[in-house]
Amino acid sequence: MATQPTRPFPSVDRIAHFAAVESLCETYGRSAVIDAIRAVLDAHRERVSEPGYLSPSDNELSLQIADRLQQRATPRLRRVFNLTGTVLHTNLGRTQLSSRAIEHASMAMREACNLEFDLDTGGRGERDSLVEDILIELTGAEAATVVNNNAAAVLLVLATVAHKREVVLSRGELVEIGGAFRIPDVMRSANTRLIEVGTTNRTHPADYERAIGPKTAALMKVHMSNYKISGFVAHVSELRVARIAHEHQLPLIVDLGAGSLIDLAAYGLPKEPVVRETIASGADVVTFSGDKLLGGPQAGLIVGKKALIDRIKRHPLKRALRVSKPVLAALEGTLLAYRTPDLLLQELPTLRLLTRPLSDIEALADRLLPLVSAALGAQWQVNVTPVSSQVGSGSLPVEIIPSMALTCRPTSAKVGSALKHLATEFRRLPVPVIGRIANDALVLDLRCLEDEHAFIAQLERLAAKGSS
Ligand SMILES: *Cc1c(COP(=O)(O)O)cnc(C)c1O
């Protein structure tokens, strides 16, 4: 389609009057179109001296300008299919919110709302009070507050309770969570001195007792979210550490990480700490994430004794770490689901996916098998295979949930490069499909695939590209 080797380029103004370019102004506005014309012309001028370069036709120029505008208008943040088998995948955004949470957040973003306004008195209100009552109801705590995420919650609690003083923590609980959250570093940022007690595998009540001195501000427990120690181990229960703390008039701070508001073990899932139980064991302040097992937006929840929570609310850092109105609305929309327990698992996607019946996933796998197999062609052997999903986001990775996957194995010899190539093809689909490579196969765990039709609709693109 290209024309003569080097035709002088039309002027910006002339190009702007091409019918195809003029019509772009309606979508993007004139200034962005002019910028795009200049950028496309600059790119051509740079290449003019390359051997074999052919000047573009007017039509080609128009298409290139339209492409550039469209590309620049496309968001970087995109929907993907999470077929990794990790339900709460931090890199893929952790929770998917419930419709109620999303609609409530949309309302808060679209309209004026009583974010910090008391509708009874007409006076100033407190944004946290919108969710405080329901958090108290769901956890049994005396008071509650909310910040940006659980890392912020831990930081704020330590800065309030233990500024320039000591916090006693077992060596077995000095955890690092992904994304550079390390308990010792957070302590340092909060200007708190960490007193490590016990050993990596064993800590005893007397270890806590011995560490308490005049500078002690609190005892702390951190849930060992993402690892497990087994063998010759001993740890001190929350109940016991709480008793030791209270005998010395000290508070017990517990960072639960993925604390759940319901007992997941009742649904056959691995036992995760339940916030209400931790409060009942005597913890004075408990922190946990909004976007882990709770199933809501990114937030850090702080619940506990009223006197302590009041101090936390007044700390200057609280203002810096507070949540925005869409987040608060999404959180309220999520928490309301817990008031109708019989419908909870259906309403909250996180809990729905975690408790999805295996027979359901298997039936889906059977339906998809022939379609994926046909799309990939003869170079790939596709099977339905039992696999293990995990909760993710710092819930015990050693605790696994039976699931079903489609596993794609190359029939040719060059296994490694073929797998990488296929994984790339899946990622390049309009809705990227993210699986994982394991045991010489691309594994697509189907636990989190709910939009079957959208998945199937794009398979033909794979057929057109992949097996050629
Ligand atoms: C996940 C986790 C955190 C960090 O929570 P974010 O909400 O991601 O900031 C802190 N502590 C523990 C124990 C965790 O599991």
Q: Are 85 and 387 in contact (CB under 8 A)?
A: yes
Angle of the 306-314 helix axis to the 150-161 helix axis, nearest 10: 100
Identify the pLDDT of residue 182.
87
How far is 169 from 444, CA to CA, in rounded Å?
A: 40
- For the Cβ of 95 lying below 6 angstroms from any atom of ligand 1, the answer is no
Centre of ligand 1 to C-alpha 158, Å, is: 15
- Tell which phi-psi region holds residue 9, choosing left (phi > 0), alpha (psi between -120 and 50) or beta: beta
Average pLDDT for the chain: 93
> Could you read off the pLDDT of 85-102 as tens digits, one per residue?
999 999 999 999 999 999
How far is 73 from 67, CA to CA, in rounded Å?
A: 10
Query: Domain 81-89+354-465: which CATH class?
Result: alpha beta
- For the Cβ of 151 lying below 6 angstroms from any atom of ligand 1, the answer is yes
Mean pLDDT in residue range 31-60: 95
pLDDT above 70 as % of the chain: 95
Mean pLDDT in residue range 59-81: 97
- For the Cβ of 150 lying below 6 angstroms from any atom of ligand 1, the answer is yes
Q: Which of 4-8, 78-82, 90-94, 320-324 is predicted least confidently?
A: 4-8
- For the Cβ of 223 lying below 6 angstroms from any atom of ligand 1, the answer is yes
- For the Cβ of 304 lying below 6 angstroms from any atom of ligand 1, the answer is no
CA-proximal residue: ligand 1, atom 13 (nearest): 257
Identify the pLDDT of residue 440.
93
- For the Cβ of 356 lying below 6 angstroms from any atom of ligand 1, the answer is no
Identify the pLDDT of residue 1.
47
- For the Cβ of 302 lying below 6 angstroms from any atom of ligand 1, the answer is no
- For the Cβ of 445 lying below 6 angstroms from any atom of ligand 1, the answer is no
> Could you read off the pLDDT of 269-301 as tens digits, one per residue?
888 899 999 999 999 999 999 999 999 999 999
Residue type, 278: T
How far is 196 from 233, CA to CA, in rounded Å?
A: 17
397 pLDDT band (50/70/90 cuts)? low
> Could you read off the pLDDT of 202-261 as tens digits, one per residue?
899 999 999 999 999 999 999 986 667 778 888 899 999 999 999 999 999 999 998 899
Q: Are 286 and 254 in contact (CB under 8 A)?
A: yes
Centre of ligand 1 to C-alpha 56, Å, is: 54
Residue in 278, 270, 291, 246 with CA at minimum distance from that of residue 397: 270
How far is 390 from 396, CA to CA, in rounded Å?
A: 8
- For the Cβ of 225 lying below 6 angstroms from any atom of ligand 1, the answer is yes
Q: Which atom of ligand 1 is nearest to the CA of 298?
A: 7
Mean pLDDT in residue range 16-38: 97
Q: Which atom of ligand 1 is nearest to the CA of 394?
A: 15
Centre of ligand 1 to C-alpha 14, Å, is: 57
- For the Cβ of 300 lying below 6 angstroms from any atom of ligand 1, the answer is yes
Q: Are 331 and 128 in contact (CB under 8 A)?
A: no
Q: Which atom of ligand 1 is nearest to the CA of 224?
A: 13
Q: What is the DSSP string of 395-460?
A: S-TTS-EEEEEEEEEESSS-HHHHHHHHHHHHHTSSS-EE-EEETTEEEEEGGG---HHHHHHTHH
Q: Which atom of ligand 1 is nearest to the CA of 90?
A: 8
> 99-347: what fold?
Aspartate Aminotransferase; domain 2 (3.40.640)
Cβ neighbours around 45 below 10 Å, total: 10
pLDDT at 417 over 80: yes
- For the Cβ of 392 lying below 6 angstroms from any atom of ligand 1, the answer is no
Q: Are 344 and 338 in contact (CB under 8 A)?
A: yes
CA-proximal residue: ligand 1, atom 12 (nearest): 257
- For the Cβ of 289 lying below 6 angstroms from any atom of ligand 1, the answer is yes
Identify the pLDDT of residue 465.
62
Q: Report the b/e string of 296-328 with b at 16+ CB within 10 A.
A: bbbbbbbbbbeebbeebbebeebeebbbbbbbb
Mean pLDDT in residue range 50-54: 92
Q: Which atom of ligand 1 is nearest to the CA of 290?
A: 7
Structural domain boundaries in the chain: 12-73, 81-89+354-465, 99-347
How far is 228 from 222, CA to CA, in rounded Å?
A: 13
Mean pLDDT in residue range 6-18: 90
What's the chain's length in residues? 468
Q: Which atom of ligand 1 is nearest to the CA of 179?
A: 8
User: CA dihedral in degrees (293, 297, 300, 301; nearest 10)?
Assistant: -70
- For the Cβ of 258 lying below 6 angstroms from any atom of ligand 1, the answer is yes
Tokens at 264, concatenated: 């997941």
Centre of ligand 1 to C-alpha 267, Å, is: 24
CA-proximal residue: ligand 1, atom 14 (nearest): 257
Centre of ligand 1 to C-alpha 29, Å, is: 44
Centre of ligand 1 to C-alpha 125, Å, is: 29
Centre of ligand 1 to C-alpha 289, Å, is: 6
How far is 343 from 298, CA to CA, in rounded Å?
A: 23
- For the Cβ of 347 lying below 6 angstroms from any atom of ligand 1, the answer is no
CA-proximal residue: ligand 1, atom 8 (nearest): 150
How far is 309 from 1, CA to CA, in rounded Å?
A: 71
pLDDT at 468 over 90: no
The residues, any chain, with a CB within 8 Å of residue 52's CB and separated by 6 or more, are none
CA-proximal residue: ligand 1, atom 2 (nearest): 257
**Best mutation site among 94, 95, 150 for ligand 1, i.e. most ligand atoms within 8 A of its Cβ?**
150
| Alpha-carbon distances, residue 284 vs 254, 255, 300, 403, 439 (angstroms) | 8, 11, 16, 38, 46
E strand map for 183-258: 193-197, 216-222, 252-257
Mean pLDDT in residue range 184-191: 92
> Could you read off the pLDDT of 119-174 as tens digits, one per residue?
999 999 999 999 999 999 999 999 999 999 999 999 999 999 999 999 999 999 98
Q: Report the b/e string of 344-356 with b at 16+ CB within 10 A.
A: bbebbbbbbbbeb
Identify the pLDDT of residue 398.
61
Instruction: State in Å, rounded, how far the first CA of the chain is from the last one.
Output: 25
Centre of ligand 1 to C-alpha 101, Å, is: 22
Q: What letter does residue 298 receive in the DSSP assignment?
A: S
Q: Report the b/e string of 204-230 with b at 16+ CB within 10 A.
A: beebbeebbeeebbbbbbbbbbbeeee
